[in-house]
Structure 1
Amino acid sequence: MGIIRFPSLTSKAKNFSKLQTLRSGNKLDVPKGCLAVYVGEIQKTRFVVPLSFLEHPLFQNLLHESEEEFGFDHPMGGLTIRCQEDVFTDLISRLQIS
């Protein structure tokens, strides 16, 4: 019997791996060309995302909604986006593919 490959699962696994590298616990570890954001409704999780995401309309919409809710005063010291973490990870996984 040969090896069975599931292309859609393989690509999703690669995207998940990339998401895990974007999720960072070290507050000083923001590579050049990236931005740290805090995501969550109650508990905030820190993500490091490429600056290129700022140009994408979906990400801009999310930032606009965050600005309306939080203004420019972010209690975490970085950009705070109030949405469910799984919604955010789904969004950035779509942005990485496009």
Structure 2
Amino acid sequence: STTYLRRKSSPPSDVPKGSLAVYVGEEGRRFVIPISYLNHPLFQELLKKSEEEFGYTHYGAMHLPCNILVFYRVLERIESEI
């Protein structure tokens, strides 16, 4: 069973406490993930790629420039280690 949610579009108020929304891939698919995932080394790699593409001072929603299937694999790996 997975602990992340996938939504097409919805207001920010649907993000539970302790979670955040990220937008993934060229299509900008929205995922709501636990904040704790941000500390995982695999997620840190995704953040590094985002910084390289969008810059450190990028404002607004968090976008991750990776393939959605790769993102699913990262989430599954993180979840398996929790």
User: RCO greater where, 1 or 2, for CA within 8 Å and sep 6 or more?
Assistant: 2
In the alignment, structure 1 residue 50 sits paired with structure 2 residue 34? yes
1:10 aligns with: none
Q: Extract structure 1 runs of 4+ deviating beyond 4 A.
A: none
Give the match's secondary structure for 1:23: strand
* Unmatched tracts of structure 2, length 5 or more: none
Deviation at 1:47, TM superposition (A): 0.5
Give identity over the alignment, percent: 47
CA radius of gyration, larger in: 1
Q: Where do 1:1-98 residues align within 5 Å? A: 14-15=1-2, 18-19=3-4, 22-24=5-7, 25-28=9-12, 29-40=14-25, 42-71=26-55, 72-74=57-59, 77-98=60-81
Query: Matched residue pairs, number?
Result: 78
Q: Hey, which of these two has a bigger chunk of helix by percent?
A: 1
Give the TM-score normalised by the residue count of structure 1. 0.71
Deviation at 1:93, TM superposition (A): 1.1
Q: Hey, which of these two has a bigger chunk of strand by percent?
A: 2
Which amino acid is the alignment partner of residue 27 of structure 2? Q
Give the TM-score normalised by the residue count of structure 2. 0.84
